[in-house]
Amino acid sequence: MKLEPKLIEVETPADPRGAVLILHGGASRRENVMVSPTQLSVVRMIPIARKVARAGKGELAVFRLLNSRRGWDTSHTPVSDAQWALNQMAERLGEPLPTCLVGHSLGGRAAILTSDRSEVRSAVALAPWVYPHDHPPAMDGQRIVIVHGTKDRIASPTRAFELAKRLSQLTPTAFVAVRDGKHAMLARHGVFSNFAAHWATATLLGRSRLDAIGRIEAGETVIDV
């Protein structure tokens, strides 16, 4: 069976000012296993996508991506699926719109590694599973925020922080440490989802009422919440 990605429309206003792509995580079980729309790594992004759509107030087109296969391997990574999704979004919307990438775990890694696309203005990586060298070769002012729980035992907060420091040498980047947050984002879920929604509206629409994002825009690069 051929494994193919799928792009799901969450919100498609008539005349959007920007677009948001939601990227799920999920480790592989074995080679070339298809993504199920009911797996937890996919389902946990649905309320986040809805919150982003509500925050956009009819000005943001919001899409969710189902990757072509689970996990990450050298032959085909979620970055390839994210690239495909951005092309599909431009086709459906009639043109590439200023875009924010929102990803969790390996989806956060994919968001960062895809953020050098010309239409991408920003990315938020939630509890990303990353290495310190995970950054695109060239950036053009894209604004990145990494939001990571201090009690995450699956994706290393230390590695994410080291990556944030490296990224900050290339493009505006901030690191947000969520006290007592864990990888599944169940504890303090509102902090993770609020950052996703407000980062998208701040970077695409120029508005946000979230105090921590105001601190980032004022120049802070490391924040505890």
In a domain, 25, yes or no: yes
In a domain, 1, yes or no: no
Rg of the chain over all Cα atoms, to the nearest angstrom? 16
Rounded Cα–Cα distance for residues 64 and 46 (Å)? 8
* Owning domain of residue 182: 6-224
Specify the pLDDT at position 137: 82
Domain containing residue 109: CATH number: 3.40.50.1820
Specify the pLDDT at position 47: 97
In a domain, 146, yes or no: yes
Specify the pLDDT at position 1: 60
Residues of the chain with pLDDT under 50: none
End-to-end CA distance of the chain: 45
Specify the pLDDT at position 30: 62
Specify the pLDDT at position 70: 84
In a domain, 214, yes or no: yes
In a domain, 147, yes or no: yes
Count Cβ atoms below 10 Å from residue 38 Cβ, excluding itself: 7
Mean pLDDT for all residues in the chain: 94
Specify the pLDDT at position 75: 75
Number of domains in the chain: 1
Rounded Cα–Cα distance for residues 117 and 164 (Å)? 19
